[in-house]
Amino acid sequence: RKEVEQDPGPFNVPEGATVAFNCTYSNSASQSFFWYRQDCRKEPKLLMSVYSSGNEDGRFTAQLNRASQYISLLIRDSKLSDSATYLCVVRRPGGYNKLIFGAGTRLAVHP
Amino acid sequence: DADVTQTPRNRITKTGKRIMLECSQTKGHDRMYWYRQDPGLGLRLIYYSFDVKDINKGEISDGYSVSRQAQAKFSLSLESAIPNQTALYFCATSDSHRGDNEQFFGPGTRLTVL
């Protein structure tokens, strides 16, 4: 079983749609959680951290459920520019900033 | 702008050749990392370094070696390249003095081993 699992997609949605991505992780001692965005053939970039209480950044909302070891990302009012691969990332315990990356969920927003 | 750069950006080589991938950063970060990315597998950590005198193996270090020549430079070597090392390679940095919450990635090196 992979340490971080995501639905690979692709999710094909029209502009203006709301779309949600899910991610599960296997190590219950994991400490920190993130969503990174990766455009085609480009480097990953941090989209947002995920906090236990849930957090929002504009059209993006991240949720964490530690009991179920589950992370989600909700994108409201999708834009064409949101088309990318979204990587679920978990930091292993131990203080060495070792990040475990999911394989990513691909989103395609069409007009 | 402070940045993470990688050279070369693309490289095609043959089985058995020695290859070096270079990474430089102007961010002043102390920690540096090498990852490879393969379709369907996500990024996997090859090596990481927390300062010039600290080198650690990641999940998939076999067939690779690294050198941290200075705080700003971290190079990855493939001593004898093989076809299953064909992948997209990323260097990343982070700053332990600022909570270490984000890793900043270079643009990647696409390596093909024939």
Residues 6+ apart with CB under 8 A from B42: A4, A87, A101, A102, A103, A104
Q: Is B16 helix (H, G, I), strand (E, B) or coil?
A: coil
Alpha-carbon distance B75 to B97, whole Å?
23
pLDDT single digits (tens) B13-26: 999 999 999 999 99
Interface residues from chain B to A (CB-CB < 8 Å)? 31, 35, 40-45, 48, 50, 56, 58, 90, 94, 96, 100-103, 105-108
The confidence score (pLDDT) of residue B90 equals: 98
pLDDT single digits (tens) A11-70: 999 999 999 999 999 999 888 999 999 999 899 999 999 988 889 999 999 999 999 999
Contacts of B50 in chain A (CB under 8 A): 96
The confidence score (pLDDT) of residue A93 equals: 79
Contacts of B106 in chain A (CB under 8 A): 43
Average pLDDT estimate for A74-97 = 91
Q: Is A7 helix (H, G, I), strand (E, B) or coil?
A: coil
How many beta carbons lie within 10 A of that of residue A56, not counting itself? 12
